[in-house]
Amino acid sequence: MTSISDTLLTRRTIRKYSEKPVDDKLLNDLLIKGCRASTTGNMQVYSIIITRDREKKRELTPYHFNQAMVREAPVVLTFCADFNRFSRWCKANKAEPGYDNFLSFFTAAIDALLVAQTVCIAAESEGLGICYLGTTTYMAHKIIEVLKLPAGVIPVTAVTLGWPGENPEQTDRLPLEAVIHHEEYTDYKKTDIEKYYLPKEKREDSRKFVIENSKETLAQVFTDVRYKRADNIHFSKIFLQVLHDQGFMNQ
Ligand SMILES: Cc1cc2nc3c(=O)[nH]c(=O)nc-3n(C[C@H](O)[C@H](O)[C@H](O)COP(=O)(O)O)c2cc1C
């Protein structure tokens, strides 16, 4: 096991996995550690769905935009905001749950994300590789069907997990000063923005990205190709409907 410090400083996303299985005992150990994460009011308003079954992974794959690692990873973990279980407990104990609203969803989503990230760190410190799946929120309505999630439960992220079958370079990060503000937010001058993003723009992989996508700037790759406004609005509408359907927009 690598120290947490080393894990945090050397980690990178792994999208290809070896054939080596992830045994149940190890996975259980990671989940126990994950569930020690801070949780709002100690309510633990989350659930984690483990997908190991080949057929179930195959069913999930199109809803993760056919990303190969969903089919190929030995384990897929779907982390859900879950007020179903807690509300059921309240009702069984003469308590009226008041969690059918957006704030409660957001609370449960925070809980779920904290568990997810803690599981990931635990996994990476054991030498396992992980990849988050942002597609979870895009296609939450379909993932809800596949995983049979009841009202009060919404998937907020998923992670593929396995022993690394690749050894990618670490990706870049903005310098710390770009993201840190002391005591108050200091808005960026035009020159700050240029300074902070220039190293990213100059990277070989970024330049390749720009050319491959027939764009003029790296920023355009984000705005016009990867995270387009029209897509963001389309998937926002679907997700707002999911919040409604799962009972979080009743107020
Ligand atoms: C919420 C979230 C969603 C992500 N979704 C995807 C995804 O759908 N597919 C993918 O290949 N990587 C995904 N990633 C991984 C990021 O692309 C990756 O973390 C980022 O490029 C930085 O690389 P690194 O983790 O190797 O440092 C996601 C990461 C986060 C935090």
What secondary structure does DSSP assign to the chain, as a single string? ---HHHHHHH------B-S----HHHHHHHHHHHTTS--GGG---EEEEEE--HHHHHHHGGGGTT-HHHHHSSEEEEEEEE-HHHHHHHHTTT------SHHHHHHHHHHHHHHHHHHHHHHHHTT-EEEEETHHHHTHHHHHHHHT--TTEEEEEEEEEESBS--PPPPP---HHHH--SSS--PPPHHHHHHHHHHHHHSHHHHHHHHHTT-SSHHHIIIIIIS-HHHHHHHHHHHHHHHHHTT----
Q: What is the pTM of this model?
A: 0.98
Give me the pLDDT at residue 1, please. Answer: 84
* Ligand 1 midpoint to CA 227 (Å): 13
Q: 196: burial class by Cβ within 10 Å (0-12, 13-18, 19+)?
A: middle
* Ligand 1 midpoint to CA 84 (Å): 29
Give me the pLDDT at residue 40, please. Answer: 98
Give me the pLDDT at residue 2, please. Answer: 85
Give me the pLDDT at residue 75, please. Answer: 98
161 ligand 1 Cβ < 6 A? no
Give the closest residue (by CA) to ligand 1 atom 1. 134
For residue 112, the one-letter residue type is A
Give me the pLDDT at residue 172, please. Answer: 97
Distance CA 131, CA 40 (A): 25
116 ligand 1 Cβ < 6 A? no
Mutate-to-test residue for ligand 1 from 17, 118, 121, 133, highest number of ligand atoms within 8 A of CB:
133
State the closest ligand 1 atom to the C-alpha of 64, by its place in the atom list counted from 1. Answer: 8
Close Cβ partners of 159 (under 8 Å, ≥ 6 residues apart): 76, 77, 79, 116, 119, 120, 130, 131, 132, 133
Distance CA 161, CA 74 (A): 7
28 ligand 1 Cβ < 6 A? no
* Ligand 1 midpoint to CA 67 (Å): 12
Distance CA 46, CA 152 (A): 10
- Residue 92 contacts residue 25 (beta carbons within 8 Å): no
Per-residue pLDDT of the chain (251 residues; tens, 9 = 90+): 889 999 999 999 999 999 999 999 999 999 999 999 999 999 999 999 999 999 999 999 999 999 999 999 999 999 999 999 999 999 999 999 999 999 999 999 999 999 999 999 999 999 999 999 999 999 999 999 999 999 999 999 999 999 999 999 999 999 999 999 999 999 999 999 999 999 999 999 999 999 999 999 999 999 999 999 999 999 999 999 999 999 999 86
In this structure, the chain runs to a length of 251
* Ligand 1 midpoint to CA 13 (Å): 7
Give me the pLDDT at residue 197, please. Answer: 98
